[in-house]
Structure 1
Amino acid sequence: MMFSSRSLHSRKRKGIALASSVLAGALVLPLSGCGTLAADAKDKYPTKSIDYVIPFEAGGTTDLLGRQVGDSLADEIGSKVVYDNVAGSGGALGTEQAVTADPDGYTLGMSAVSTMTVAPLQNSKLSYQKPEDYTVFGRLPIQPMVLAVKADAPWDTMSEFVEDARKNPGKLSISNSGTYATPGLASYATERAADVEFNIVPYAGGGADARNAVLGGDADATIAGGPLFKGFVDSGDMKILGVYFDGEYPLYPDAPSAFDEGVEWEAVAEFILVGPPGLPEEVTNTVSDNLESAITTEKFENEVDKLGFIADYADPAETERIIKDAQGTNAELVDYVESRQ
């Protein structure tokens, strides 16, 4: 969730080797063998619709991203995708349903690196305690967190906000959608990285309530994914002090990176596609290969860009490495958070 290794991969050339081997086999097989080949092709995965669990409420930007991924994958893989929104526990509920499904390839799930690494620290009963407990198909688009304030706030940059906090320990407040959600952890990460003290306030009503607390004067700043503030920035009611991303965020191209503001911490919501462990190799390869092809097109990247995400595909091996790195990083951060409670 916090540190993100970004590497774009080129699209794979699919089907050439398969077509060559089938053609070669057809030249030496008797006529009766053609029926076997036809049956094998007919039974090749997938042969029916795929259930796709989205562990977030329907209608939000994360849900829209999940459906964009699902629609693109369906077009590529040649099978219908049926969506199932299973929200709750910060994505843990739906993720649990996806990774404990029958290992036949007909239930996949969207999740997040934070869900796979922070939730298990809080609940040892979850079935996904480590990457070996589920199948990873790849990383989906990511969404950077941003630090936002009212337009008339006295700070214009993240460094100014941090410097004010340094002079007034515990005075400046940051609202967020939950202590152990990505925005909440980013709040504490900012505090830790800058060696300052904030008054960090979680709001049970989620990011919208945290944002409204700033607009209403009940909090000095808030942290959330960029799309939450876009309309208010465009209307002149809010401004972005910094983006927790080591690169340009197209949604706010003029906003400075936290790294340039002296807060060397990357906070991004990293979404992934997962399934239960023990899937047949054919299923794993088919889904991961088609996922890469589906979400590395210019059309797809343009569509998710409009939603406020950054297309940043990572293959299964790289995604597993990202998750394992995040396990250690987030465990340390959670320890820090608990020391501040």
Structure 2
Amino acid sequence: PGATGSIASRIAADAPPDGYTLYMPALSTFVSLPGTAPNLPIRLPHDFNAIGFAAENPMFVVVNPSLGITRLSDLIARAKVRPGEISCAVTGIGRLTHLTAELLQSRAGVELLIVPYTGGPAQAIGDVISGRVDFIIEGYSGIAGAVQSGLVKAIAVASEKPLAEFPHLPTVAETLPGFSATGWQVLVAPIGTAEGTIQKASEDLRSVVTDPDLQNKIAARGSYTRAMSPAEVIAFVAAEQRKWKPVMELIAKKTQ
């Protein structure tokens, strides 16, 4: 359901805690602009019982080859001498691509011309290909075809570690230490779900996300699994909320 995930979240939270209704919310329901919906952002373990971690999708920095830029450090250097001129496509206000662009500005000490697009990344990547926009920040699934065909060039990925599928692609953290930006999904259950049910679901999810065949298949699409216990999920989500809170506050101030 729509409404930035608030409808699905409300339905899942109100479901009987019998183990037959589980919910897999994404980062956007845990990190949202103030006033987006009365039941967002989700808080763990206040709103749901955590079960485990499903997958994450790191953001890629992708440029138009005509820029002549092959490294993130070069992009930052150019943005510093041309403040407010280097354009960056993002898909939506307050979504992860936008948050990543704002964090990049802050960490790199630059001012970008952020261009938000509605809907998916198709129009945004098209404008990068045509040269109307200089670069885009997006998950791999949204830019894979353009990257593979050579129409655009990936210069960095915002994963915590280098990706085996992209052995020659540096991480953003190699230029801006500690930088990471990934979309992610976790599995949760309504409050009141039996502890035994939580543990069984957590163990089953762990066996799925650690399966090598599954890992290889989704890695080809730019997604990566990571096994976590319920306690680790709670700690992970809390850390992500702390990381993105000042960025969300900055965006909220800009949009007032």
Task: State whether TM-score is above 0.5.
Answer: yes
Q: Cα offset for 1:197?
A: 0.4
Which of the residues 248, 252, 261 maps onto 2:162? 248
Check 1:201–1:154 CA distance in 2 against 1; reply closer, same or farther (3 A cut): same
Task: Answer yes or no: is the 8 Å Cα contact 1:244–1:258 preserved in 2.
Answer: yes
Task: Answer yes or no: is the 8 Å Cα contact 2:32–2:40 preserved in 1.
Answer: no
Task: Answer yes or no: is the 8 Å Cα contact 1:148–1:239 preserved in 2.
Answer: yes
Q: What RMSD, in angstroms, separates the aligned Cα atoms of the two structures?
A: 1.9
Q: 1:111 is paired with a residue of what secondary structure?
A: coil
Q: Distance in 1 between matches of 2:107 and 2:49?
A: 33
Which of the residues 101, 120, 125 maps onto 1:187? 101
Aligned position for 1:161: 75
Aligned position for 1:265: 179
Q: 1:171 is paired with a residue of what secondary structure?
A: coil
Deviations 1:61-106 (A, max 9, x none): xxxxxxxxxxxxxxxxxxxxxxxxx3x2344433333233221111
- Structure 1 residues 1-341: aligned runs within 5 Å: 86=1, 88-118=2-32, 121-123=34-36, 125-126=38-39, 129-131=42-44, 132-262=46-176, 264-341=178-255
Q: Distance in 2 between matches of 1:336 and 1:263?
A: 21
Aligned position for 1:12: none
Q: Cα offset for 1:263?
A: 6.0
Deviations 1:146-183 (A, max 9, x none): 11112222211111111111111101111111121111
Q: Distance in 2 between matches of 1:189 and 1:245?
A: 14
Which amino acid in the other structure matches residue 332 of structure 1? P
Check 1:111–1:313 CA distance in 2 against 1; reply closer, same or farther (3 A cut): same
Which amino acid in the other structure matches residue 204 of structure 2? N
Q: Cα offset for 1:252?
A: 2.5
* Gapped regions of structure 2 (runs ≥ 5): none
Task: Answer yes or no: is the 8 Å Cα contact 2:58–2:159 preserved in 1.
Answer: yes
Q: 1:270 is paired with a residue of what secondary structure?
A: strand
Q: 1:255 is paired with a residue of what secondary structure?
A: coil
Normalising by structure 1, we get a TM-score of: 0.70
Check 1:261–1:224 CA distance in 2 against 1; reply closer, same or farther (3 A cut): same
Q: Distance in 2 between matches of 1:173 and 1:268?
A: 21
Which amino acid in the other structure matches residue 103 of structure 2? A
Check 1:281–1:339 CA distance in 2 against 1; reply closer, same or farther (3 A cut): same
Deviations 1:110-156 (A, max 9, x none): 2123422325x333511664211112111112111011112222211
Q: 1:272 is paired with a residue of what secondary structure?
A: strand
Q: Cα offset for 1:250?
A: 3.4
Which amino acid in the other structure matches residue 223 of structure 1? I
Deviates further, 88-97 or 310-319: 88-97
Seq. identity, % = 26
Q: Distance in 2 between matches of 1:281 and 1:127?
A: 25
Q: 2:56 is paired with a residue of what secondary structure?
A: strand
Task: Answer yes or no: is the 8 Å Cα contact 1:226–1:251 preserved in 2.
Answer: no
Which amino acid in the other structure matches residue 142 of structure 1? E
Deviations 1:292-331 (A, max 9, x none): 1222122221222222211222211111001112222221
Asked which structure has the greater CA Rg, the reply is 1
Check 1:236–1:111 CA distance in 2 against 1; reply closer, same or farther (3 A cut): same
Check 1:128–1:147 CA distance in 2 against 1; reply closer, same or farther (3 A cut): closer
Count of aligned positions: 254
* Gapped regions of structure 1 (runs ≥ 5): 1-85
